[in-house]
Amino acid sequence: MIPLTHSLIIAALLFSLGLLIILLRRELLFILMGLEVMFNGAALTAVAAGQYWNNADGQVLTIFLMVVTAAELAVALILVWLAYEHFKVTQIDMLTQLKDDTRGEPP
């Protein structure tokens, strides 16, 4: 058997890698990919804990996590596409304009 701590260490590594991707690659698509990696770290935590206590609840939690991820991505990807259509950028540092901002151009 794999000890629980090893699974948790792997999950923590995945989570922090996803966080690093979000913080370092400030691009819309890379942010979504980093979110996926972070979600997977969380899912691995749930599954490993569920297997450790021999309980199906961890897998149920992961199934709901997948549902939430799918719903989030469907909306988020369309928002990314709209942002790209309007501003022609994917770097989030360029997206500095609010709706009522009359000063105009992003830098």
Partner 1 sequence: MYEVIFYLTAAIAVLAAGAILKVSHPVHAALYLVISLLALALIFFLLGAPLLAALQVMIYAGAIMVLFLFLIMVMNLRSERNQSLSLPSGWKGPAILALILWLELMLLLNRYPAEETNEMTAIEPKAVGHALFGPYLVLVEAAAVLLLAALVAALYLSRKGRS
Integer CA distances (angstroms), 45 to 14, 48, 99, 104, in order:
10, 5, 40, 45
Q: Does 5 bind partner 1 (CB under 8 A)?
A: no
Q: Does 106 bind partner 1 (CB under 8 A)?
A: no
Min CB(67)–partner 1 separation in Å? 5
The span from the CA of 34 to the CA of 45, in Å, is 17
- The residue type of 68 is V
Q: How far apart are the first and last CA of the chain?
A: 55
Min CB(7)–partner 1 separation in Å? 7
Binding site for partner 1 (CB under 8 A): 1-2, 6-7, 10, 13-14, 17-18, 20-21, 24-25, 27, 29-30, 32-34, 36-37, 40, 43-44, 47-48, 50-51, 54-60, 62-64, 66-75, 77-82, 84, 90
